[in-house]
Amino acid sequence: MGKIKKIGVLTSGGDSPGMNAAIRAVVRAGIFNGLEVYGIRHGYKGLVNNHIKRLKSYSVSNIIQRGGTILKTARCKDFLTKEGRKQAYNNIKENELDAIIVIGGDGTFTGATVFAKEYNIPIIGLPGTIDNDLYGTDFTIGYDTALNTVIEAVDKIRDTASAHNRLFFVEVMGRDAGFIALRSAISCGAEAVLIPEIETHAEDLLDYLEDGFTRKKSSGIIIVAEGDQSGGAFEIAKKIEKDFINYDVRVTILGHIQRGGSPTAFDRVTASTLGVAAVKALLGGEKNIMVGLQNNSVAYVPLEKAIKHHKTIKKSLLDLVKVLNI
């Protein structure tokens, strides 16, 4: 591999709070180390369509506190095709980029892995997704902020649930993973949590709710991950409502509110740490890895491993929900 002088950075897939802090860290660490840094707009779409522009230190001023991504993001269909990736590679060559840093989740890293197999271009991944579902990092950039958004909303729902003696089913994001649901359930003292990783039995939930009612629980919150096998909050609420007349049932879908907002201190520090580490990894000759956090230290994980291995739900956290809801 030749000496790295110019690098590109992009954000791809669903945005997450802290992506801007990560871009800022990559740009500033790159410049600090004597590199030229280029911003690629709209994720892989910008690579395919040659939307690539030099970033200076001032280009990333005043963004550490902002949600979204100044580089914009997209889920790019063209990059799924061989022709699209060829075009992307031609643009990398035309702009003389020696390496790229991609910030995103599962889909972003899948694209990066395919691309790295076809073309010899070093790629470093930074875990940017609210889902926290990437193997090899304890936390992804944006997860903590999303959790805090959920907590703030559910605390408010708890007030009205209690005032009306109602049972609320609150649906949170997580198409394939229950990480947001599980930690928010613990943080909000939810009565139960339904996640894709664990089979949902409506009858068990009913028994549990009946039991709570006899112990004079007058209201409740059930957190449902959007990918739960029950089909989501509306579906499970319908089933429960039919047989459980003790509570007035309501459903709230939190939706994309979870993706926005100013990143928490934790996400800003994580994004800054990992952004700087990504540049350091490139300069150290690393390629096709994700830079993540393990036990509070920076860790390198092959991109392929980050997407192929499943991050598992901590059983001890699930047990917490049970123990704390007697």
Count residues near ligand F6P (CB under 6 A).
10
* Measured distance CA(187)–CA(6) in Å, rounded: 44
Q: Which is nearer to ligand F6P, 98 or 144 (CB)?
A: 144
Minimum distance of ligand F6P from residue 134's CB (angstroms): 11
Q: What's the min distance (Å) between Cβ of 173 and ligand F6P?
A: 3
Q: What's the min distance (Å) between Cβ of 184 and ligand F6P?
A: 13
Candidate residues 23, 40, 130, 278; the one interacting with ligand F6P per rule CB under 6 A: 130
How far out from the chain centre does Cα 40 lie? 20
Task: Look at the block and give the residue holding tokens 């009858």.
Answer: 203
Query: Does 131 participate in catalysis according to the annotation?
Result: yes
Q: CA 85, CA 119: separation in Å to the nearest integer?
A: 9
Work out whether 129 is an interface residue with ligand F6P (CB under 6 A): yes
Stretch that binds ligand F6P, among 22-30, 156-164, 168-176, 275-283 (CB under 6 A): 168-176
Q: How far is the CB of 129 from ligand F6P (least distance, A)?
A: 5
Give the whole-angstrom CA distance, residue 238 versus residue 202: 10
CA distances from 38 to 30, 46, 71 (A): 10, 11, 10
Quote the radius of gyration of the chain (alpha carbons, Å): 22
Rounded CA gap, 3 and 9, in Å? 18
CA 211 – CA 199 distance, rounded (Å): 21
Contacting ligand F6P (CB under 6 A), which of 105, 111, 125, 263?
A: 105
**Rounded CA gap, 20 and 26, in Å?**
10
Residue with smaller CB distance to ligand F6P, 131 or 197: 131
**Span of 63-71, 127-135, 235-243, 311-319 interacting with ligand F6P by CB under 6 A:** 127-135
131 binds ligand F6P (CB under 6 A): yes
Q: Which residues contact 231 (CB under 8 A, 6 or more apart)?
A: none
Q: Does 268 bind ligand F6P (CB under 6 A)?
A: no
User: Which segment (29-37, 52-60, 128-136, 205-213) binds ligand F6P by CB under 6 A?
Assistant: 128-136
d(CA 64, CA 53): 20
Does residue number 174 form part of the binding site for ligand F6P (CB under 6 A)?
yes
DSSP 8-class letter at 198: S
Binding flag, residue 171, ligand F6P (CB under 6 A): no
Catalytic residue of the set 15, 98, 106, 131? 131
Are the C-beta atoms of 2 and 32 separated by less than 8 Å? no
Could you list the residues that contact ligand F6P (CB under 6 A)? Answer: 14, 105, 129-131, 173-175, 226, 259
User: Which residues belong to the active site?
Assistant: 131
